[in-house]
Structure 1
Amino acid sequence: MSDERLFSLRNPWFRASVGTTVAVFVASVVVGFVWLPSVHRDAPFQGVWNAICSAAGVPRDWSDGTAPVKPSEQLSTVQVTPQLLSTASRLSIGRGATLALRCTMCHGARGVSGANTPNLAGQYAIVIYKQLQDFQSGARANPVMSPMVAGLSDQDMRDISEYYEFLPRPARPRDPANPTAPDIVRLGSPLRNIPSCGACHGEIGYKAGAPWLGGLPAAYTAMQLQAFAAGARHNDISEQMRNIARSMTSEEIQQAADWYHGTAAKP
């Protein structure tokens, strides 16, 4: 059998192979450039050029790097470092005490809440400062706090934060029925990428920017974890709390909230 006869249209096998290849090519074009764009109405599939780029996995427009991609939600802009607010003065604490008079209705006269709002007495100044900044920028939304901080200057927030850190933390005796922290607080769940709560929030260790949870109302702590899990709260850096809360069960959230509500004052 000669090469001429093998690749000749007179050869039925050659015709069949060529015909199959052409049919597959045409079907691919129809699916990729006709059917898919008609099903997916979003921008990446609109038009032949967009469909080609999407199929090839390359950008439709090559960016020059000067136009940053805007996030879909307001993010926190506070750069948390251990040195942030590390030098509190008496003047700053005294001024903060005056400014904090507006906060007493919800957070108590001495930073200890009588309701399901957070205790601020003894809380790390970095934590309070970051939350005030986030409320003002919109990274964290709250119908009460957002308007309350709207007129505060950066120095006002620093003074308030330093004043509340200066106050002694409230003493809360441990529950004698639960003398040992639950597993989610002591150990976390490594298989689900959940670190122990105590590693960042007290009991075991501390991470700069992480709030002290001891004595916080259980309802408040549980509500914040649920908000992180649902994505309703998104001012955590690098989305770490959202990822953790999504992996926690409802029972673990309540266990952690109840435990920290009963923890004692700082050593």
Structure 2
Amino acid sequence: MSGSEQLFSLKNPWFVGSVAAVAGTALVAALVGFVWMPYAQNDKSIGGLWDAICRAAGAPGPAAAPADVGSGRVHSSDVIVVPQMISEDRISVGRGATLALRCTMCHGARGMSGANTPNLAGQNAESVYKQLRDFQSGHRISEIMAPHVRNLSDQDMRDLAAYYADLPRLAPPPTLVEQLRAPVIVQIGSPMRNIPPCVSCHGGSDRKTASPTLDGEPAQYLHTQLAAFANGTRHNDIHGQMRNVVRQMTPEEIKAVVDYYSRR
């Protein structure tokens, strides 16, 4: 029998020991990477051992239970936002400035408010218009806003949106370098939990049309709205997008988002 045959023989204790050590190391590494690590992240959406292995292997798990979009008397928003749907000419801005005089008590003389109401200065016109329409239709519930929007015409709401979009914001949009310093949940999200990055909808160094700009919004207002999406009391997000995202987020991630945008 040759030396090589003796080396790779099951009768060779060194060969058997080496194979066992390598197999044991691989098994421990697999258990740590595919089982222990997913559970250690405290992800309550993991549905068992097989789900944990799939997550670790890169297969996204199921999202949280979809938001109940169609139940009850009030449904999701029916406003479809498209680019340049609001004319921001000077006549429209001027009419909006007159209409906005009734809004100053809560939203400030120049669209900059306090802790409980959103800043509207420099906000996307399409976003302001959508929220006004939703308040009027009842898709977004507010005992304060409802009487103020009840008698507004569609043109009134467009003029108000044009006016607030025309006002300057206190802080310019973040540069690409500044955006890269944002929290992970803001710039990357959590793909394994089906959470897109905040900037994909709300913009960062670029401008998005369909969703509001969040830079500089009061921390208390942001936290209140995220909580409302999470518990379903706010439901004017089309197809439940925000509700499904926020329900996946941890309290620490929500705090990171609020702190980042409120300090911008």
Q: Into which bin does the TM-score normalised by the smaller protein fall?
A: 0.5 to 0.7
Q: How does 1:97-108 map to 2 (within 5 A)?
A: 97-108=97-108
AA paired with 2:239?
S
Instruction: Please give the per-residue CA displacement for 1:156-196, whole angstroms capped at 9, x wherever unaligned.
Output: 1000000000000123899xxxx921111011000010001
Q: CA deviation at 1:114?
A: 2.8
Aligned partner letter, 2:189:
G
Partner of residue 202, structure 2: 201
Give TM-score scaled by structure 1 length.
Answer: 0.67
- How many matched pairs? 190
* Whole-angstrom distance in 1 between the partners of 2:105 and 2:85: 28
Segments of 5+ residues of structure 1 without an aligned counterpart are 1-69
| Unaligned ranges ≥5, structure 2 | 1-69, 175-179
107-116 vs 151-160, which deviates more?
A: 107-116
- Whole-Å Cα distance in 1 between the matches of residues 210 and 159 of structure 2? 17
TM-score, normalised by the number of residues in structure 2: 0.68
1:227 paired to 2:203: no
Deviations along 1:243-264, one digit per CA (max 9) or x if unpaired, are: 001001111111101100111x
Verify the 8 A CA contact 1:192 1:247 in the aligned structure 2.
yes
Q: Which amino acid aligns with 2:136?
A: Q
Cα displacement (A) at 1:205: 4.7
Matched residue of 1:247: which SS? coil
Question: Is structure 2 residue 154 aligned with structure 1 residue 158?
Answer: no
Report the Cα distance in structure 2 between the residues aligned to 1:109 and 1:204, rounded to whole angstroms.
27
Alpha-carbon deviations, 1:77-135, whole Å to 9, x = none?
212111311x3211110010000001101111000113321000000010000000000
2:122 counterpart of 1:110: no
Equivalences for 1:1-267 in 2 at 5 Å? 71-75=71-75, 76-85=77-86, 87-171=87-171, 180-203=181-204, 205-263=206-264
> Is the Cα contact below 8 Å between 2:115 and 2:220 reproduced in 1?
no
Question: Are the aligned partners of 1:172 and 1:215 in contact in 2 as well (CA < 8 Å)?
Answer: no
Query: Structure 2: how far apart are the matches of 1:79 and 1:153?
Result: 18
- CA separation in 2, counterparts of 1:173 and 1:233? 27
Question: How many Å separate the matches in 2 of 1:125 and 1:173?
Answer: 16
- Are 1:96 and 1:162, in contact at CA under 8 Å, matched by a contact in 2? yes
Report the Cα distance in structure 2 between the residues aligned to 1:99 and 1:239, rounded to whole angstroms. 31
Letter in 1 for 2:212: P
| Structure ranking higher on relative contact order (CA contacts 8 Å, 6+ apart) | 2
Matching residue's letter, 2:227: Q
Q: What are the Cα deviations for residues 9-35 of structure 1, in whole angstroms up to 9, with x where unaligned?
A: xxxxxxxxxxxxxxxxxxxxxxxxxxx
Inter-partner Cα distance in structure 2 for 1:207 and 1:251:
26
Cα distance per residue 1:21-75 (max 9 Å; x no partner): xxxxxxxxxxxxxxxxxxxxxxxxxxxxxxxxxxxxxxxxxxxxxxxxx752423
> Judging changes above 3 Å, is the alpha-carbon distance between structure 1 residues 173 and 84 closer, same or farther for their aligned structure 2 residues?
closer
With over 3 angstroms needed to count, the CA separation of the structure-2 counterparts of 1:83 and 1:172, relative to structure 1, is closer
Q: 1:238 to 1:162 in 2, by over 3 A?
A: same
Moved over 6 A (4+): none
Please tell me whether the aligned partners of residues 173 and 215 of structure 2 are also in contact (alpha carbons under 8 angstroms): no
Please give the alpha-carbon distance, in whole angstroms, between the structure 1 residues aligned to 2:185 and 2:73.
30
Amino acid at match of 1:226: A
CA distance in structure 2 between the aligned counterparts of 1:172 and 1:114, rounded to whole angstroms: 20
Query: Residue in 2 aligned with 1:15?
Result: none
Q: Which amino acid aligns with 1:194?
A: I
One-letter amino acid of the counterpart of residue 150, structure 2: A
The whole-number CA distance in structure 2 between the counterparts of 1:257 and 1:114 is 15
CA-atom RMSD in angstroms: 2.0
Structure whose CA Rg is larger: 1
